[in-house]
Amino acid sequence: MPGALSRLPAGGKTVALTFDACGGKGGNAYDEALIAFLRRRSVPATLFINSRWIDENPSVFKELAADPLFEMANHGTRHLPLSVSGRSAYRIPGTRNAGEVFDEVSGNRAKLTGLLGHPPRFFRSGTAYCDDVAARIVTDLGERFASFDVNSDGGATFTPAQVHQAMQDVRPGSVVIGHMNHPHGGTARGMSGAVPQLLDQGYEFVRLSDAVKA
């Protein structure tokens, strides 16, 4: 995928944790324990937030956006796989043409810009699927498509032990995907076990903007 970011630029033992808040039916909850853990250990993260999640959690969004530990990023307007041909991913039908790609990115971009006072720098589609043409549209709109190289929670389906195991794949420069909208999943407990070990091994956690120059 042209321009997609799945690893950080070389240099240092840095890792970016990214957590999605997908919104929609069954996706609007807030994993307060995960965020509390990150704050307790002063671990920065990039939070990919969907429009619908913001609408359901306006005060939590404000509080997260005001915390310099977190970078707010664009997780789409309707949480659709990003395609110019309607291709589905994980049984979710994608956007069907360039106009729908534009709407999916720019709808939430406008919302985030209004709330943050500046546009978001990074975009991740629902399911993280994106075809080549759609990726170019994301770039043209001024955002960078954020993929990942470590899937920490399998779409928030993993147990804490599985999350901990998945985090063993972290390497210098890894971009880790997880979720912050499933408080009953294993993400918070798995991260609470794995992240302190990585800190002990000398890893440093960064927000995407800290590692990727504008």
Task: Return the HEC string of 130-163.
Answer: ECHHHHHHHHHCCCEEECCCEECCCCCCCCHHHH
Stretch that binds Zn ion, among 82-90, 101-109, 110-118, 119-127 (CB under 5 A): 119-127
Q: Which is nearer to Zn ion, 20 or 100 (CB)?
A: 20
Nearer to Zn ion, 126 or 186 (CB): 126
Query: Which of residues 22, 43, 134, 163 is near Zn ion by CB under 5 A?
Result: 22
Tell the smallest beta-carbon distance from residue 79 to Zn ion (Å): 6
Contact yes or no for 20/151 (Cβ under 8 A): no
| Three-class DSSP category at 17 | strand
Distance CA 26, CA 179 (A): 13
Nearest residue to the partner Zn ion, using Cβ: 22
Q: Write down the least CB distance from residue 61 to Zn ion, Å.
A: 15
Of 124-132, 158-166, 188-196, 199-207, the window that binds Zn ion (rule: CB under 5 A) is: 124-132
Verify binding: residue 175, Zn ion, rule CB under 5 A. no
The reply to whether 31 sits near Zn ion by the rule CB under 5 A is no
Q: 48 or 203, CB closer to Zn ion?
A: 48
Binder among 5, 8, 17, 20 for Zn ion (CB under 5 A):
20
Q: Which helix (H) or strand (E) holds 189?
A: helix 187-200
Distance CA 157, CA 146 (A): 21
Instruction: Give the helix ranges, DSSP H, for 13-146.
Output: 32-40, 51-56, 58-65, 98-116, 132-140
Piece of the chain touching Zn ion by CB under 5 A; list 108-116, 122-130, 143-151, 154-162: 122-130
Residue 205 and residue 39 in contact, taking contact as beta carbons nearer than 8 Å: no
Binding residues (CB under 5 A) for Zn ion: these are 20, 22, 126
